[in-house]
Amino acid sequence: MHRLEKFQIFLAKILVRQKIPRLCLIAASILAAFFSGGCGKKADKGLEHLTYRLKWLFNISVVGDLYTDVHGIFAEQGLRVTIKEGGPERDAIKELELDHAQFGVASADQVIRAVSKGSPVVVIAQLFQANPLQWIYRPQKICIEAPEDLKGKTIGITYGGNDETIMRALLSKYKIMNNEVRFFSVRYDYTLFYEGEVDLWPIYQNAEGVVIAEKLRKAGEEVSFFNPDAFGIRFVSNSVITTQRMLKERPGTIQKFISALLQGWREALDPGNKEKSVATIHQFDRDTPIKIIRQQLEATRMLMKPSPEIQIGRIDVEAWKQTERIMLEQKLISGPVSVERILRPYIKSRSNFIMLPNPE
């Protein structure tokens, strides 16, 4: 018998014994039901409750996270995970420290900044193997074959955002002076790119990139993406994080979580499960047409698993070190943090996931 029902019977016995009117019994039952909250869900019985804070809103970039939850892969591992949307004002690292969440997604620059300020965060998987943050442009209007071609162009950047960091790192690497390009402070709307006033606009290639490319194609215009990764700027994007306390006190939970999550991602990106993944995303992101989601899924697969030998969730230690170097050069952190010491990669063994020794 369920806990709530037991409690209601217990209340009833007391009230009847003491001849308290039936109205009081009803009121007490309602109160008991109210305060017992989620206890009534039988499916949750015996599951370990966790909260997972994403970096951004529900869209294709979180297909694996949602797939894992919707298709019961977390539950198979004995977990009940509440997946919370991220957004510009959300910060998973802060929520982990405040214990509002046990797992989260953050970009490498967020993680490195947090570590430089003493945050006890650890990285347990790297989701995107190639950074989805790229610049969209019209090849009919400008030709970009090498970074030097950026000279004289108007480049959109979000001041303070990681696209600014990436672009400045690229310009610095190729000895392009800031006065040789024109920076434009970008906003959420793409009007100035559509109007052709800005040549290159920062965009998440697998998400908005597909939508905007489709819109421009309909208008008879072709688009291309300028990818700094292709020119040696390896700036790590979304990664799965937790805290050192979790690592110390609940290693089994981490193992179960990461095992489920990476299995979910593998299944979501498996071409055989394409329609299931598309349906999963469409369930949460109703505004994006199914046709677009299909294209977005293809683009996401290329970023998560650029080649067959790369395992989903692999932590690219060299890319993390380069991200730290870039941030140091741009004085975004006050000193080196030796980021490799907080990387805790998991690999799949024959039957389960095991944590590899720290790369340090």
Partner 1 sequence: MLHRRIYQFVIVYLIGMTFLFLIKYVLNLSDYVIPSPGEIWHTTCHVFARYLFDVMDTLSVAIIGHILSICLATIVGIIGRLTTWVGSFIKVAAYNIQAYPIVAVAPIIFILLGDGLSSRLLIAAMICYFPLLLSFIGILSEPVGHIEHFYEVTKRMSWHLQVKIRAFENMNKLTTVIVGSATLAIVGTIVAEFIAASAGIGYSIRIALYQSDLAKILVALFLIGICTSLYLTCLEWLGYLTRKRWEV
The correct pick among 80, 84, 113, 250 for binding partner 1 (CB under 8 A) is 113
DSSP assignment string, 189-239: --HHHHTTSSSBEEEETTTHHHHHHHHHHHTT---EEE-GGGGT-----EE
Query: Is 93 or 312 the residue whose CB approaches partner 1 more closely?
Result: 93
Q: Which of residues 118-137 bind partner 1 (CB under 8 A)?
A: 118-120
Rounded to an integer, what distance in angstroms lies between the CA atom of residue 94 and that of residue 116?
Answer: 14
Q: Which two tokens stand for residue 247?
A: 């690592």
Query: Is 97 or 340 the residue whose CB approaches partner 1 more closely?
Result: 97
CA distances from 84 to 74, 125, 317 (A): 15, 18, 28
| Nearest distance from C-beta of residue 159 to partner 1, angstroms | 5
Letter for the amino acid at 164? E
Indicate whether 98 belongs to the interface with partner 1 (CB under 8 A). Answer: yes
Query: Is 94 or 282 the residue whose CB approaches partner 1 more closely?
Result: 94
- Angle at CA 138, nearest 5°, toward 286 and 238? 50
Closest among 145, 141, 50, 53 to 95, alpha carbons compared = 53
| Nearest distance from C-beta of residue 223 to partner 1, angstroms | 21
| Binding string, residues 136-175; x marks residues near partner 1 by CB under 8 A | ----------------------xxxx--------------
| Binding string, residues 321-350; x marks residues near partner 1 by CB under 8 A | -----------x------------------
The correct pick among 72, 88, 232, 336 for binding partner 1 (CB under 8 A) is 88
Indicate whether 291 belongs to the interface with partner 1 (CB under 8 A). Answer: no
| Nearest distance from C-beta of residue 310 to partner 1, angstroms | 30
Q: Which two tokens stand for residue 151?
A: 């000279």
Q: Which of residues 174-233 bind partner 1 (CB under 8 A)?
A: 185, 187-189, 191
The correct pick among 93, 123, 236, 269 for binding partner 1 (CB under 8 A) is 93
DSSP alpha helices (H): ranges in the chain?
3-17, 22-36, 63-70, 73-76, 92-97, 108-116, 162-173, 191-194, 208-218, 244-249, 251-269, 274-284, 290-304, 317-329
Indicate whether 287 belongs to the interface with partner 1 (CB under 8 A). Answer: no
Query: Is 93 or 343 the residue whose CB approaches partner 1 more closely?
Result: 93
Q: Are 99 and 309 in contact (CB under 8 A)?
A: no
Query: Is 45 or 187 the residue whose CB approaches partner 1 more closely?
Result: 187
What residue ranges bind partner 1 (CB under 8 A)?
A: 88-89, 91, 93-94, 97-98, 110, 113-114, 117-120, 158-161, 185, 187-189, 191, 332
